[in-house]
Structure 1
Amino acid sequence: MVNLTVTQLLRDRALADPEGVALIVQGSAPLTYGRWDERSTELANGLVERGVTRGDRVGLVFGNGDWADYAVAFFGVLKAGAAAVPLSDALAPADLRFMLGHCGAAGVVHAEGLEVAADGWTVTPGVLRAEASAQTSYDGRSAGDAVTDPPRPDDLAQILYTSGTTGRPKGVAATHANLAYGCGGKRRPFAHSRHLVHAFPIGTNAGQTMLINALDAHPAVVTLPRFTPGRFAALIESYRAGTVFLVPAMAIELLNAGIAGRHDLSSVLLLGSAAAPLPAPVAAALTGAFPNATITNYYTSTEAAPAQTIMMFDPERPGSVGRAVAGGRVRIATPQGEPLPQGETGEVWMRSPAAPRSYYGDPGSGTFRDGWIRMGDLGYLDPDGYLYLVDRESDVVKSGAHKVSTIHVEEAVFGHPDVVEAAAFGVPHPVMGTVVAVAMVVREPVTAEELRLFLTGRLAPHEMPAQVVTVGELPRNAGGKVDKRALRSSLTAPADLAPAHE
């Protein structure tokens, strides 16, 4: 499985199984492999007629109800020889313009009815299909063939922008060889399932993984325009899905909604969680809601994919995110990449088994070094090679002489029976420099004093939250991760701080 391109993977699947269903969006007609291939070729020809050339970048702005059109547009751009830049329609206009300008997009393909302000042209897939279908030939070729030479494995295929929760979003560039790594084998992934259900948004690394699954995996990939616990559970039940993917926030919503008592979820054999660490209490509760499922946590990043660690929930290792799989590697090292001894906390680095990714327009970034990717997390490895995360490097609270792991604080707060969700982060303090604050969503009211009493013995004095606030919901970015910058900026006033630890 070398020297592959994702466009060739689609062509091969369409030839082998033209009527097979690749993708289903709730409320819309299924997209078959044959139609996916045909429609994307028509769109590619329309893009070439518009002047798109090899190496151009083309923005794709779609919402979650437009997954089928997005899938067609993604492959249409690639067949035209260009690189796709997936962008969510939920982005703020300023962020959208920044990303399109940063990558120098030649134009934008977007969902019908959506207005996108861009420096180049904008068009919907329907318009380009009509333009392409009106032509009988292009340079002597039939309208069923793309007018450009096929992409090469080392051609740029995708620029995916990071969430920007710790700074300005960065464009992560991936080649065809990177995206197609591990695909095209005789044994297709998730062969135990006829349907795979997910609710990942367009424009995220997790969403792009589901797009590749729709292309290469055994089951048809099923999604819905908007996630709610009831709709998601009903979708799983109606399709008897064997595989389900979600983010921890969705898992928490499903559990709090009590969906296991209203829907038959016994068909699920694999429930995968991605985009953020799955809290151990949540993983344990999922085993009850999905009685036949193996609960699995996937740890990676937009920069490191397809490198990842996988952890099947193990009560003996509740805090681990697993071991490296499928040829990838993980190590703990200094900021300069020097390996550290087993058990010592340091920076997490991963090595991809595929052609590595890079930051578009920033080849000198310290994130990528000699094939290794700096994850931005702190962690350690146990004697069996299991990875434990201590915290995001940028989230560690430096309070006086202590360094506090917000992940550890969150796990402790999660243990309170009335806490639904929690996020820990640092806020300024006139004496300690920074102290721990906690924002929580609760079932029943919990005062700051009650929470601190509960945490006594579970947290050290320097880990105890000095500021506690109850919120209706935690702010999240498009990928489902908690936006701690937003929380921090809203809770900087020290008036209600508890006394600083000694």
Structure 2
Amino acid sequence: MSALAAARAARAAGRVALTVPQLLAARAAKQPEHVAVTQGSGTLDLAAWQRRTQAVAAGLRAAGIRPGDRVALVYGARDWIAYAAAYTGVLAAGAVAVPLSTRNAAAELDFMLRHSGAAAVLHGPDGVVPAVPIPLVWDPAVVAALPDAEPLPGPGPADPAQILYTSGTTGRPKGVTAVHANLTHGCRLDPPLRRLAHSRQFLHAFPIGTNAGQTMLLNALDAHAGMLATARFAAAHFARLIATHQVGSVFVVPAMAIELLHSGALAEHDTSCVRLFGSTAAALPPAIAAGLAAALPQATIVNYYTSTEAAPTQTSMVFHPDRPGALGKATGGGELRILAVDGTPCPPDTVGEVWLRAAGAARSYHDDPDATRQVFRDGWTRMGDVGRLDADGYLYLADRESDVIKSGADKVSTVAVEAALHEHPDIADAAVLGLPDPVLGSVPAAVLVAARPLTLAEMRAFLTSRLAAHEQPSRLAHVTALPRNAGGKVVKHQLRALFDRPDQEGTP
């Protein structure tokens, strides 16, 4: 039975959960000429996507890959078209995809290949020679030469589909397993309306191997608009793509949003076509959201909040000046709660641990039952953040649990301090971290990307009306750019060494 026939039979039987290959087969049969992925001069329509998917699936099975085997996909930022077909081909073979990136360091790739137990590696033209023994390694020429084949019996909705590794900003990356029903939650074989109908294409610059990137790939499969992917993010280039392709939906991380706003690129190009401007991966500073709303008056500015562990459930917040710092409410049938340390629910406006419940199949950690028990409980996912819900159920983040600064008897939110810093007209970007203090235990320090050198006294005067005394940075450092991981998050531990230098300003 083909994937499409199996999906129709499942729907007739009343089962709504689907697999990724079923979604692709159904849409390719109905809209074969729809261009799902565009990058540079290359395009991938649904008919070609389905054809290459089945070729990869049959080739893997013939090479000995069995359902449930893990297959690593190591592709670079220029390889979205090849990666898309390889990814769905692995899934159509019943195997489990392990999306990785050429941006990963060799040691990281080595760890992920070993930890996932990869039985095969498919890679892009940048090439990868695994340091660990892998039974099957296919380069682009081998993948391209695979002949067309008939569809195979596909996986079931409850079968594992992918292992996606976290960013590892606070430790070694963890592999997060998602089943097909998790990835396809909310999707239908023949929806009356498809998402992202603002234009023919949506634009992003997310790397392969990230949760944001995987979300874009599923959008390409299921949304009205096709994916327009760019291998690099530069504000002028990104704005030019918006104008040239008349893009209606744009997706960024906060670092990209900050650069777009401060560069002036949005004003230099015709971006009036944008109707949805979505930011994900971290909280968008309110000052930046307000600036974007002014720069893109036709667009709805949306802040999305999720994690590799919690996806595809998320919160969604349309920016509104009455609630500038809110991250919104859970969407798609999800639910939020705030728990105290002892596990009891917190009343409104009380800060505690943020938990998000998925409406569909929950994820889990690969080969780490202890961590799974700590983070995944009865359909709820511990987000690793502290925050509060107001009386209307809107979420406000206080900080990452690991980033909260305990200064004497006070707790300092780095998110709040960073938001205040972004209000300064000369600050393009900012990160706040805690530094050891012999009296208070820890004190805030700020690392700035600024148009000019700013003194500590000047900053403290600016922040006096915005922050309490214990929230004020006690030291400053200036850099030309903040270090960020592939997902766009600041790698704060790399900033600590800045304050070992004698030229950085601080309190006596």
Counterpart in the other structure of 1:223: 229
After superposition, the Cα gap between the structure-2 partners of 1:477 and 1:421, relative to the gap in structure 1 and judged at 3 Å, is same
What is the one-letter code of the residue matched to 2:452?
E
Give the paired residue count. Answer: 488
Q: Secondary structure at the match of 1:297?
A: strand
- Aligned equivalent of 1:122: 137
| Pairing partner for 1:82 from 95, 116, 141 | 95
Alignment partner, residue 5 of structure 2: none
Q: CA deviation at 1:495?
A: 8.8
Whichever residue aligns with residue 149 of structure 2, its letter is G
Q: Which residue of 1 aligns with 2:280?
A: 274
Match of 1:454 in 2: 462
Which residue of the partner structure matches residue 62 of structure 2? Answer: 49
1:204 aligns with 2:176: no
- Residue 335 of structure 1: how far off its partner (Å): 3.9
- Paired residues of 1:428 and 1:492 also in contact (CA < 8 A): no
Aligned-pair distance for 1:30?
1.0
Structure 1 match to 2:12 = none
CA distance in 2, matches of 1:480, 1:489: 20
Larger deviation, residues 403-412 vs 485-494: 485-494
Cα distance change, pair 169–492 in 1 and its aligned pair in 2 (3 A): farther
**Aligned equivalent of 2:499:** 491
In structure 2, the partner of 1:193 is 199
Corresponding position of 1:249: 255
Paired AA for residue 406 in structure 2? K
Alignment-derived partner of residue 464 in structure 1: 472
Shift of 1:129: 3.6
Deviation of the 1:491 alpha carbon: 2.8
Partner of 2:150: 145
Deviates more, 1:226-235 or 1:207-216: 226-235
Matches within 5 A, 1:70-469: 70-117=83-130, 118-120=132-134, 121-130=136-145, 132-133=146-147, 143-147=148-152, 149-184=153-188, 185-365=191-371, 366-469=374-477
Q: 2:49 aligns to what SS in structure 1?
A: helix
C-alpha contact (below 8 Å) 1:424/1:438 kept by paired residues = yes
Give the counterpart of 1:5 among 3, 8, 19.
Answer: 19
- Alpha-carbon contact 2:498-2:504 (below 8 Å) kept: no
Aligned to 1:39: 52
What amino acid maps onto 1:409 in structure 2? V
- 1:496 to partner: Cα distance: 5.7
**Is the 2:251–2:279 contact (alpha carbons within 8 Å) kept by the matching residues of 1?**
yes
Deviation for aligned residue 1:463: 1.1
User: Could you tell me how far 1:492 is from its partner in structure 2?
Assistant: 4.9
- Partner deviation per Cα, 1:272-326 (whole Å, 9 max, x = no partner): 0011100011111111222210000000011001111111001010110011111
Aligned residues of 1:23 and 1:220 also touching (Cα < 8 A): yes
2:220 and 2:133 map into 1 onto residues whose CA distance is 32
> After the TM superposition, which parts of structure 1 deviate over 6 Å for at least 4 consecutive aligned residues?
none
Go from structure 1 to structure 2 and tell me whether the alpha carbon gap of 1:4 and 1:335 turns closer, same or farther (over 3 Å shift).
farther
Contact 2:357 2:379 (C-alpha < 8 Å) held by counterparts: yes
Deviates more, 1:86-95 or 1:327-336: 327-336
SS at match of 1:225: coil
Match of 1:153, SS state, is: coil
Find the aligned partners of 1:391 and 1:112 in 2 and give their Cα distance: 40
Instruction: Give the C-alpha shift of residue 364 in structure 1.
Output: 3.1
Deviation digits for residues 106-153 of structure 1, max 9, x if unmatched? 1211102412324203212431341x32xxxxxxxxx43244x21100
Shift of 1:186: 2.5
SS at match of 2:167: coil
Tell me how far apart the structure 1 counterparts of residues 304 and 174 of structure 2 sit (CA, whole Å): 22
Instruction: Name the CA distance, whole Å, in 1 between partners of 2:242 and 2:379.
Output: 39
Instruction: State the alpha-carbon separation in 2 of the partners of residues 335 and 194 from structure 1.
Output: 47
Name 1:136's counterpart in structure 2. Answer: none
Asked if the contact 1:197/1:245 (under 8 Å) is kept, the reply is yes
Q: What amino acid is aligned across from residue 54 of structure 1 in structure 2?
A: P
Q: Specify which of 32, 47, 69 is matched with residue 18 of structure 1.
A: 32
Please provide the CA RMSD for this pair.
1.5
Measure the CA separation in 2 of the matches of 1:492 and 1:399.
20
CA distance in 1 between partners of 2:176 and 2:282 (Å): 19
Provide the C-alpha distance between the structure 2 equivalents of 1:126 and 1:87, rounded to a whole number of angstroms: 19
Q: Give unpaired runs (5+ residues) of structure 2.
A: 1-14
How far apart, in 2, do the equivalents of 1:252 and 1:472 lie?
A: 14
Please state how far the C-alpha of 1:415 moved relative to its aligned partner: 1.6
TM-score norm. by structure 1 comes to: 0.94
Contact conserved, 2:99 with 2:163, CA < 8 A, in 1?
Answer: yes
Letter in 2 for 1:390: A
Q: TM-score, normalised by structure 2?
A: 0.93
Q: Structure 1: how far apart are the matches of 2:263 and 2:87?
A: 35
C-alpha contact (below 8 Å) 1:80/1:146 kept by paired residues: no
Shift of 1:430: 2.1
Query: 1:446-472 CA deviation, whole Å, 9 max, x = no partner?
Result: 122211221123222211111100100
